[in-house]
A and B are shown apart, each in its own frame.
Chain A
């Protein structure tokens, strides 16, 4: 069964510094990867979806996928205090009907 782990559990960065979040998965047939942001008490906002090895950029968010090493990263360029939130990684595989398996999340805090 797919297992998705995120690290670190929490991360504090200053405004404008790069923030890097890590997500590891266990199913090598995984082919669909997403990063979501969730502000406290709110719903999920999709930030970036990636389906093949390499990088994909959406605004200040860049996802980097390396399926051989079972890692997908999220880099946030010049984060602002409004980016303080819970960040969730979600992984799915066509072979399992595209059911999303979520990591436990990384809490990001951005200070001035």
Chain B
């Protein structure tokens, strides 16, 4: 079965600090995505990647960087965390025309 894992599952960060969220997939999928979800709302696309060593901006990329060092791994980096970045972050993977498989989410709280 397709598997997408995220780490950490929960994190508390201080304003202005650096945060790295990690995602690992064992699906052999080319496509990976990072979304954020604010309480009670849908998901919004931050960054995505079609291939290792390449990333693309999604709909809300400001304040975030992404890194895809290999097909299996995709990281989301907050260089200077801010209060407004408190949210739940989901990673997903897919192949073209195939279902996106979502990880369990990372709850980030910035204080």
Q: Which residues of A pack against B, CB within 8 Å?
A: 1, 4, 6, 32, 34, 42-44, 46, 49, 86, 88, 90, 94, 97-105, 107
Contact = CB atoms under 8 A, between A and B. Distances in A.
Contacts, number: 48
Given A99-B45, A102-B43, A107-B40, A43 B97 contact: no
Interface of B: 31, 33, 35, 40-45, 48, 50, 58-59, 90, 94, 96-97, 99-100, 102-105
Question: Which of B43, B44, B58, B103: most chain A Cβ within 10 A?
Answer: B43
A104 B96 contact: no
A104 B48 contact: no
Q: Determine the main DSSP class of B at the interface with A.
A: loop
Contacts of B31: 98
17 contacts: A4-B42, A6-B42, A42-B104, A43-B90, A44-B102, A46-B99, A88-B42, A88-B43, A90-B42, A90-B43, A98-B94, A98-B96, A101-B45, A102-B42, A102-B44, A104-B41, A105-B41
